Amino acid sequence: MSELIVIGYDAPEKAEEARTDLMKMSAEYLVDVADAVVAVADADGNVKLNQMVNMWTAGAAGGAFWGLLIGMVFFNPLLGVAVGAGAGALSGALSDYGINDDFMKDVGSVLQPGQAALFMMVRANASDKVIERLGEHGGRVLRTNLDTDAENHLRRAFDEAHKAELDASTPDQA
């Protein structure tokens, strides 16, 4: 079962750092990431989604390839590339990958201007090691699709990791 976890941050840079760390953990096979999106509230309170995959680009690339192939059959590969790229970009823009955009904008509406949230969908349970590393970036768990016990465990582990990071970065005063 996939887990959906939303972590709120006071600055977009912190959310991007956490997503970068999440993707590093994915490369280390610590977590299987299905989607990771950073939502940022601008000065007007509008929520902008920074997707992991740019659907316009992916659609245009795939459409250009198929357009080139079809264009070669009809002896006009340039026209095929142009039409294919346009059609692919349009279909990419209309498609939704991973976490539902409307859901992210709805949850992101609680953000104040300048704040951000990291939405992550993982295909298997996020281990304590993953939660601990994400907790080092600060933030707070805003929402999950976990049952109450699992969500409470996640919140405690996340808060403890964040507190340990703060304690480690604060010099002792004697």
Q: How far is 103 from 116, CA to CA, in rounded Å? A: 15
Any domain includes 41: yes
Q: Other CB atoms closer than 10 Å to residue 164's CB: what's the count?
A: 13
Domain that holds residue 127: 3-52+108-169
Any domain includes 174: no
Return the higher-pLDDT residue of 168 and 85. Answer: 168
Report how far apart the first and last C-alpha atoms of the chain are (Å, whole number): 49
Tell whether 48 and 66 lie within a shared domain: no
Reported pTM: 0.67
> Do 105 and 45 contact (CB within 8 A), yes or no?
no
Q: How far is 142 from 129, CA to CA, in rounded Å? A: 20
Nearest to 3 by CA among 31, 39, 30: 31
pLDDT of residue 13 exceeding 90, the answer is yes
* SS3 track for 68-96: HHHHHHCCCHHHHHHHHHHHHHHHHHHCC
Tell whether 37 and 118 lie within a shared domain: yes
pLDDT of residue 51 exceeding 90, the answer is no
CA distances from 59 to 2, 8, 11, 66, 75 (A): 25, 30, 31, 11, 23
Identify the pLDDT of residue 16. 92
Looking at the chain, the whole-number percentage of residues with pLDDT higher than 70 is: 68
Amino acid at site 52: M
Any domain includes 152: yes
Pairing of strands 140-144, 33-41: unpaired
Tell whether 47 and 8 lie within a shared domain: yes
Q: Output the CA angle 123-126-131, nearest 5 degrees.
A: 145
Any domain includes 163: yes
Domain end, chosen from 35, 66, 94, is at 94
Tell whether 46 and 114 lie within a shared domain: yes
pLDDT tens digits for 111-155? 888 899 998 888 876 677 888 888 888 888 887 877 888 888 888
pLDDT tens digits for 63-94? 556 666 566 667 666 666 666 666 665 555 44
Q: Give me the chain's average pLDDT, please.
A: 76
